[in-house]
Chains A and B, each alone.
Chain A
Amino acid sequence: MPRDEAELAEMVREAREPLLVQGNGTKVGMLRPVRAAQVLSTAGLSGITLYSPSELVIRARAGTRLAEIETVLAEHGQQLIAEPSHLFGEGQTLGGVVAANLSGPRRISGGAMRDHVLGVRAVNGSGEILNFGGRVLKNVTGLDIGKLLTGSFGTLAVLTEVTMKVLPVAEATGTVVVPVEDAQAAVVVMSAGLGSPYSASGAAYLPGCSQVFLRIEEFAESVVYRCAKLGGQFAGAAVLGTDESKVLWRGLRDCEYLGDCEALWRVSVRPSAGPGVLAAGAAAGLSGFLDWGGGLVWLSGAATREAHESVCAAARAAGGVWWLMRGPEDFRAAVEVIPREAPALAVLRRRLVEKFDPRGIFNPQKMRTA
């Protein structure tokens, strides 16, 4: 565990065998297992290095805990826009959340983690310390390597520091709760909410209670007004206030309404295809729910090949993608944890990896077998 970036770069230069790149290792059970001689952890690279609330920017070393960043932001009435899930517990680091591009319910309106990464510092496979992007809110200087590294699960370079755009926490939060018959009806309600002039910042459906939740985050008067306007469109709608809403959306963010299960999948499709994926999961014995207006399907259940194939087939049929978020190690080693790419893209991907990590030492086969 290196104590600083220079030491980390030195360890990379001296490495002769594959490294398991991680922060605190909370997502070691996500995607494929990595066979590596040694762990290279960024957990020792900790601390917020810049925070300028009036400029909407925070910078922290990669090993800084997400929870610490969120606490400091909250003290100043601000937050990470993408609302990353705490599904993997409180040990998650900023670097890990960025490397996994892990976004929560607000992704549908506010964008993903990748949309708010302003800059990264990283060490490539040759042990060079590189800095891309910066601390300003707009930047198109050169290729956007920051976006490339976000969501790359430490397979191209080791993130050592990340700069994020942040936004104020809204003065109030409201949730319009709409009872619905089924998932199809739920997506119609969510589409009406997201396709309204009221800027819904969340739209989720829990099949267990047959309810749709539409979130409004605004100034207090606006929340009252917009929730009334939205709720007025749907029979039987009720409105939750700020405190109840925050508990509800935290639970949705962290998949608390799904039971503890062997395997957990996350599927992203166009919203109208969500019910089909949910149904395919149910037919394979999986339970789940919809977020992102129907476009994000969470599914959980037993880790069987049959269930996995059902999830993949449904995602593929809808032109979407999946991530195996959790599962037994041998299971994760045996299945496609994310979709296979088209052959031309696979060629480009292999060449790209060679340019960042010529010796192939960073998290080999974390995402794909070859």
Chain B
Amino acid sequence: MKQLDPKPEVMARRAEIVAGLRRMLPARAVIAEAVSLKPYETDALTAYRQVPLAVVLPEDEAQVVEILKFCAAEGVRVIPRGAGTSLSGGALPLADSVVVGMMRMNRILEINYADRYAVVQPGVTNIGITAAVADAGYFYAPDPSSQLACMIGGNVGMNSGGAHCLKYGVTANNLLGLRLVTIDGEVLEIGGTHCDAAGYDWLGLITGSEGQLGILTEVTVRILHAPEGARAMLAGFASNEIAGDCVAAIIASGIIPVALEFMDRPAIHACEDFAHAGYPLDAQALLIIEVEGSEDEQADMLGRLRGICARFAPVSMRVAETAEESAAIWKGRKGAFGAVGRISPDYLCMDGVIPTSRLGEVLRRIGEMSEAYGLRVANIFHAGDGNLHPLIMYDANDPASFAKAEAFGAEILALCVAAGGCLTGEHGVGVEKRELMPVQFSAAEIAQMRAVKDVFDPQWLLNPAKVFPL
């Protein structure tokens, strides 16, 4: 992959820049030794690695302001980082960059049940928000698979989704306010604790902007009261197409399940080996469907869903009878990426989205590509919203295998766009898909987006070489 050339004037002044950072920050907040920088060289897209010039770990907003003012004055590139769980290389450093790691700003500042919001620092984990409000019966809705580790700051940066966003929406739909420090060190208060903006929707623009516009120091999220209960069911089908038709029939019936997940045969086997959730090993495709409500409501809804599934000659159907069974079903799904990692240590996780009516045909094409490239693929996705996660397995010790995997991935994403979809549904463009942007956008459209970036960051110091083609 091509990368931006390091600025020679920055590389030459490395010692001075580190000394400058040390002057403004506590000793524990600056990392510049080679061995300690190593963990920051990559994120969850481990195929790419680059040790940064330095890492800083600010402990409050004032330090973030100082760091950004200093970097702007010195012309130093800045890479914001949360937990480093980006699957698109969103936190990949450049050799001349300072990584600003937000994990030490991890306090929950306020929880307000009467008005149903929580104010948190960006380094709070996604699950940490739910954990803080669960005793009162509340939760924070977006639930990316990495929710045990990933941080809310990164979730906002990438506009993360999750298995339950069919009902509850993605990150952008669950935010009320932000504090954002611009590259000039200005602190912007965006939104607040109320709904909707009078004036431009800065909150909507900043969410999902992948660290291009500033660094978050505070996030106000909506919290919701949990339903009385939830239960999952499994339905196995004889082909991907049939399962896809069943998804369309469920949506057309007026039922919007809280989650509607799809796995193909390779994914079913990988996840079952790992989670022992009772997934049907004889099925070609599996749907995990979850409903919410009281016991009676769950039973009623599951009855309706069984009726719909039955029209598609299911190979198997099973309703979770206990909370433990539901948990096992979700353990398999949420651990899916890890489970595939047990079959093949190296894989690329795609994130394209397609209109759900094209499901069968797109999966058939992916299967043909898999044969042509000679690389295995497991398909796991959020079926209700058409968000595909093909996992392309390759061998990292073989450069030719990686190159083939990348080409395969690019071809899948081009297929998604051609089918009326998009390059990324929830993982972000990052470095991974930056050169594919022209597949989806015209030159004028990319220029308009770059112009918005210019408004906030005229020197292009914030997370450069991401999102936009080089």
Contact = CB atoms under 8 A, between A and B. Distances in A.
Interface of A: 52-57, 77, 101, 103, 107-108, 111-112, 114-115, 124, 128-132, 134-145, 147-148, 150-152, 156, 167-169, 171, 191, 194-197, 199, 219, 221-222, 225, 268-272, 292, 295-296, 318-323, 338-339, 341-342, 344-345, 348-349, 351-352, 355-356, 367-368
Nearest to A350: B455
B114 A191 contact: yes
Contacts of B444: 128-130
Interface in B346-378: 353-357
A186 B290 CA distance: 34
Chain B CB within 10 Å, residue with most, of A107, A221, A271: A271
Given A128-B444, A268-B198, A321-B199, 12 more contacts: A56-B251, A114-B204, A136-B420, A140-B170, A141-B441, A142-B429, A142-B437, A196-B225, A197-B228, A221-B300, A270-B193, A344-B188
B387 interface: yes
Interface string B182-205: 100011110011111111111011
A136 B201 contact: no
A139 B256 CA distance: 19
Given A138-B165, A344-B182, A151 B205 contact: no
Contact of A321 (B173, B194, B357): B194
A320 B420 CA distance: 39
B424 interface: yes
A167 B454 contact: no
B254 A141 contact: no
Nearest to A292: B195
Contact of A268 (B195, B202, B353, B453): B195
A295 B192 CA distance: 12
Contacts of A136: 353-355, 385-386, 420-422, 425
B455 A348 contact: yes
Contacts of B194: 268-270, 295, 318-321
B201 A150 contact: yes
20 contacts: A52-B355, A103-B196, A124-B448, A140-B159, A143-B205, A145-B448, A148-B200, A148-B205, A168-B254, A169-B254, A197-B137, A268-B195, A270-B192, A270-B193, A272-B115, A321-B197, A323-B198, A339-B199, A341-B199, A348-B188
B335 interface: no
Given A144-B159, A271-B114, A345-B188, A356 B448 contact: yes
A124 B448 CA distance: 9
Interface of B: 112-117, 137-138, 158-159, 161, 165-166, 169-170, 172-173, 182, 186-189, 192-202, 204-205, 207-209, 212, 225-228, 248-249, 251-252, 254-256, 293-294, 296-297, 300-301, 353-357, 382, 384-387, 420-429, 433, 437, 440-442, 444-446, 448-449, 451-456, 467
Report which residue of A136, A271, A342, A344 has the largest number of chain B beta carbons within 10 angstroms of its beta carbon: A136
Nearest to A143: B449
Contact of A134 (B117, B384, B421, B433): B421
A130 B385 contact: no
B342 to A, nearest CB: 27
Given A150-B201, A152-B200, A225-B296, A138 B425 contact: yes
A147 B449 CA distance: 13
Contacts of B248: 54-55
